[in-house]
With several copies, the nearest count.
Chain A
């Protein structure tokens, strides 16, 4: 029998104008930091924003934004993502609170479907989705379940990262998703990533410097806004907001 939960997902996100997944294939390139700061930046610009953390094995957006783990979940014909600094936030962390959560692929898939089926996002201008590294269940599921998904690729300027990003791009091109472009994080001022983007035929959205003040600022929204990362993100956001998306 068909999975009934999948039927309701389009209804749950029907008032979400843009659905953007932050992806890389590679770990540790800054997906979580950028997903969180992109959401924060959009909210500062007056947009209505949701942030969904789908890195179930290592959820971290709440650490970046300083969202308390003991937040209680409101139920109302589903679950309503709590609001923090103007961001509607949803993460399994709100339920498991630091416990280890060793989920296999089929569990991840099941949990994503359940979460998308019961969460009522309401009207949003942007839903930002943080994803884990790899091209496994999380990515495959949002690609098949979220209509009109856009992907925003994050990388660092390293051969090791670019080889993996290149594999990811092969996949994204196969399934015909909207690739917004690539962000170079922890830039070293070289043109390695810009060149890569040109070769792959994707938009180079800009670079973000390594900011050693980030570590101290983690969990403190005001301090985060003062980092040079937030500054670069504002510039990048103006490009992203300007794009017209056809679904």
Chain B
């Protein structure tokens, strides 16, 4: 691992790497399943709740796919706003409206496991922790374009 550029040393340190790895592995699995020869493009949505460092995530995708048959594949990343709906009172709200009130260590917890939001975020109207993350939870594959 000597002589790696500094930026790559940093991205090895964060867990964005693990999520990028899961994407690459999943795309390879889908290729095998659907008997695709090439994958031209993979569209990935990154939910705002998880607060992924997008640049690091993109670099990790690049480095991991480099050594595979996906080295030419385009990974398009779009951010997805996070929205919640209270199961208790029906109120809906956006992550952006409450983001300020979340402390650093709390954001760190949600960054690892987005469900930990249930220990931290509460319905702004009724105070219940019993809400649904309607959208914008974490990392997911939206679509995939390939050639059989």
Which chain A residues have a beta carbon within 8 Å of chain B's beta carbons?
1-8, 11, 73, 75-79, 92, 95-96, 99-104, 107-108, 110-111, 114-115, 117-118, 120, 140, 143-144, 171, 174-176
Contacts and interface: CB of A to CB of B under 8 A. Distances in A.
Nearest to A98: B119
A175 B115 contact: no
A107 B25 contact: no
Contacts of B141: 1-2, 4
B26 A2 contact: yes
Contacts of B21: 8, 11, 77-78
B128 A175 contact: yes
B18 A78 contact: yes
Contacts of B30: 2
Contacts, number: 119
Contacts of B144: 1
Most buried by A among B28, B114, B118, B120: B118
Contacts of A5: 19, 22, 26, 139
Interface in B5-58: 12-15, 17-19, 21-23, 25-30
Contacts of A101: 116, 118-119
A118 B19 contact: yes
Interface residues of B, number: 41
B119 A100 contact: yes
Interface in B86-126: 87-88, 108-109, 112-116, 118-120, 122
Contacts of A6: 26
Given A174-B127, A176-B127, A76 B12 contact: yes
B87 A140 contact: yes
Contacts of A110: 114-115, 137
B31 to A, nearest CB: 11
B3 interface: no
Contacts of A114: 112-115, 138
Most buried by B among A95, A175, A176: A95
B140 interface: yes
B109 to A, nearest CB: 4
A8 B88 CA distance: 16
Given A4-B25, A5-B22, A75-B14, A102 B113 contact: no
Contacts of A3: 26, 140
A175 to B, nearest CB: 6
Contacts of A73: 112
Nearest to A101: B119
21 contacts: A1-B143, A1-B144, A2-B30, A4-B25, A4-B26, A7-B26, A7-B29, A8-B25, A8-B26, A11-B25, A73-B112, A78-B18, A92-B113, A100-B129, A101-B118, A102-B130, A111-B113, A111-B116, A143-B130, A174-B127, A175-B127
A239 to B, nearest CB: 29
Contact of B140 (A4, A77, A102, A171): A4
